[in-house]
Chains A and B, each alone.
Chain A
């Protein structure tokens, strides 16, 4: 116990001053403040990031440059946005394998809309609508038909990609109509020296932090992850909540797609292939537990940052790019191992 408040010494005179004792008990907790932060996974991953950064600043002169930092943060932000949504899904003990394909599908529907001469507003709505529909289908199959999230979203992974190929007629889109300049500015440019997509990630992280801590929706999602049966008995509409979680995850992907296409300046139906693996890796490295019930808003960004940092560091250290996936996988396993060790120590 970190709390050192002296217990009222009249505790011995049982019954005389229960109120004071009760007050004392009410205000206590097992760990508080900084101690609680020390116990979280994102904190230790953040320490790892600082450590890698420190090592890299000696290994490569190019690492600490403004340009490189700009690149790292911009590249990680796309994954970070998707990982925020994935955190919600994983918190309910689910998984969404379809985010990579959905990115590709959103890219195509968005691209076709804008190519046809519609404005950026219409493009955005179509992009988010595509995401919402896919999330809704995933959620309904999982929540109401009680199908395994892994299987449903694996099916969606194949279907969404195929639909993207069909409606794009397997063609690349690089013409985005009247609002093309604005569109590419939003995805690819920066404000105050910080990439726009990083601003979006930062704002969204703040929103999610608030949602997890202060909203009923967030509380209920965490409760469902902890004990879905208990949540149901407590009167929480578990099925509706699960549908909403998959929709939220898909909407995050839709938003990432909108920014990503603006950044790359072209949309192909192959976009986002295997991204789901990086997103899930980032989420898990950031402290999510596949058993559910654990979520950190900052975990998504921190996990995504570590994955991108590994990639960048290997590149700058002159290690062949073929090793990248190896190290991402290694850190993923280390993250899970770290969590195991922390849990054992905590008990």
Chain B
């Protein structure tokens, strides 16, 4: 049973066809690299899976059940967590607070419930430790480096036990050492049965962690093949159009 199936997804903005008849299936525990040049439709496809946009036509199925995501929260409830490219963090809150934003842990005293700081900081610390990130849960996000912010954004998705994690350019703005850490995390997500969709410009990252690569060009899918059967040269050719389809 596939985890996520996109069936002939089309999205138009007025006269512009951002996506035409894109189909993609993702199996549990599979990491799929989504590649393509700027404007190829990667972000639009991501936003449809994440519930930011409704497709103009086509169907989304999760574990064979058709779903309609009207809001991002619908996608999250269906087990899809997203790491946004702009990271969507509150600068004025601590790293721990950001991890738990909207899902705060509380302690109850009769009718009154209050934020459980020790539990949240402890859990956030554990999550950062899993990521091997030197991010301190009590520090404000405002003071953090790109890599630390990335760790916060990724730690957020680990709170629930998502079926699918969408990552939009997670390695674009971080140090070389932390790229390795993020890739290690993606591998760990795979090992625990989580599927990952990785949107990335960085060919080495995709070839390092993904099982399969899908290439979009001008709103259509031009290739979808196991990583073992392709090469960076072929994918580059597909992205820029030197190779028509594969």
- Chain A positions within 8 Å of B, measured between CB atoms, are 18-19, 22-23, 25-26, 28-30, 32, 210, 213-216, 219-220, 222-223, 225-227, 229-236, 293-294
Q: How far is the CA of A227 from the CA of B89 in the complex (A)?
A: 7
- Chain B positions within 8 Å of A, measured between CB atoms, are 72-73, 76, 82, 84, 88-94, 97, 101-104, 106, 113-115, 121-122, 124-126, 128-129, 132, 134-140, 143, 156
Least CB distance from A123 to B in Å reads 28
Q: How far is the CA of A219 from the CA of B113 in the complex (A)?
A: 13
Q: How far is the CA of A341 from the CA of B151 in the complex (A)?
A: 31
Known: A226-B92, A293-B90, A293-B91. A234 touches B102 (CB 8 A): yes
Q: Contact at A22–B115, with CB atoms within 8 Å?
A: no
Known: A26-B129, A216-B106, A235-B73. A226 touches B134 (CB 8 A): no
Least CB distance from B203 to A in Å reads 28
Q: Contact at B93–A223, with CB atoms within 8 Å?
A: yes
Q: Contact at B93–A226, with CB atoms within 8 Å?
A: yes
Tell me the nearest residue of chain B to A30, going by C-beta. Answer: B139
Chain B contacts of A210 at CB under 8 A? 114
Tell me the nearest residue of chain B to A293, going by C-beta. Answer: B92
Q: Contact at A22–B138, with CB atoms within 8 Å?
A: no
Q: Contact at A30–B104, with CB atoms within 8 Å?
A: no
Tell me the nearest residue of chain A to B50, going by C-beta. Answer: A233
Chain A contacts of B114 at CB under 8 A? 210, 214-215
Q: How far is the CA of A286 from the CA of B67 in the complex (A)?
A: 49
Q: Contact at A25–B134, with CB atoms within 8 Å?
A: yes
Identify A223's interface contact among B90, B115, B129, CB under 8 A.
B90
Tell me the nearest residue of chain B to A234, going by C-beta. Answer: B102
Tell me the nearest residue of chain A to B91, going by C-beta. Answer: A226
Chain A contacts of B115 at CB under 8 A? 213-216, 219
Identify B90's interface contact among A213, A216, A227, CB under 8 A.
A227
Tell me the nearest residue of chain B to A229, going by C-beta. Answer: B88
Chosen A-B contacts, 5 in total, with CB atoms closer than 8 Å, are: A23-B125, A29-B136, A30-B136, A230-B89, A235-B73
- Beyond contacts A26-B136, A222-B93: 4 other A-B pairs, Cβ-Cβ < 8 A, are A25-B134, A30-B136, A234-B156, A235-B72
Q: Contact at B92–A225, with CB atoms within 8 Å?
A: yes
Q: Contact at A226–B90, with CB atoms within 8 Å?
A: yes
Least CB distance from B134 to A in Å reads 6
Least CB distance from B17 to A in Å reads 27
Least CB distance from A27 to B in Å reads 8
Least CB distance from B108 to A in Å reads 12
By Cβ-Cβ distance, the 10 closest A-B pairs, closest first, are A26-B125, A226-B90, A29-B138, A234-B102, A22-B129, A226-B92, A293-B92, A214-B114, A230-B88, A235-B102
Q: How far is the CA of A19 from the CA of B94 in the complex (A)?
A: 22
Q: Contact at A234–B128, with CB atoms within 8 Å?
A: no
Q: How far is the CA of A233 from the CA of B102 in the complex (A)?
A: 9
Q: Contact at A19–B129, with CB atoms within 8 Å?
A: yes
Q: How far is the CA of A30 from the CA of B144 in the complex (A)?
A: 11
Q: Contact at B136–A28, with CB atoms within 8 Å?
A: yes
Q: Contact at A30–B129, with CB atoms within 8 Å?
A: no
Q: How far is the CA of A226 from the CA of B121 in the complex (A)?
A: 20
Q: Contact at B136–A227, with CB atoms within 8 Å?
A: no
Least CB distance from B140 to A in Å reads 7
Q: Contact at B129–A231, with CB atoms within 8 Å?
A: no
Q: Contact at B125–A28, with CB atoms within 8 Å?
A: no
Q: How far is the CA of A235 from the CA of B104 in the complex (A)?
A: 12
Most buried by A among B124, B135, B137: B137
Chain A contacts of B76 at CB under 8 A? 235
Least CB distance from A36 to B in Å reads 10
Chain B contacts of A213 at CB under 8 A? 115
Q: Contact at B132–A18, with CB atoms within 8 Å?
A: yes
Tell me the nearest residue of chain B to A227, going by C-beta. Answer: B90
Chain A contacts of B128 at CB under 8 A? 22, 25-26
Q: How far is the CA of A220 from the CA of B100 in the complex (A)?
A: 11
Least CB distance from B184 to A in Å reads 12
Known: A22-B128, A25-B136, A214-B115. A231 touches B92 (CB 8 A): no
Q: How far is the CA of A269 from the CA of B143 in the complex (A)?
A: 49
Chain B contacts of A26 at CB under 8 A? 121-122, 124-125, 128-129, 136-137
Least CB distance from A223 to B in Å reads 5
Tell me the nearest residue of chain A to B135, going by C-beta. Answer: A25
Tell me the nearest residue of chain B to A235, going by C-beta. Answer: B102
Chain B contacts of A18 at CB under 8 A? 129, 132
Q: Contact at A234–B92, with CB atoms within 8 Å?
A: no
Chain B contacts of A220 at CB under 8 A? 102
Q: How far is the CA of A233 from the CA of B128 in the complex (A)?
A: 21
Q: How far is the CA of A214 from the CA of B118 in the complex (A)?
A: 12
Q: Contact at B89–A29, with CB atoms within 8 Å?
A: no
Chain A contacts of B97 at CB under 8 A? 219, 223
Q: How far is the CA of A29 from the CA of B135 in the complex (A)?
A: 10
Q: Contact at A29–B101, with CB atoms within 8 Å?
A: no
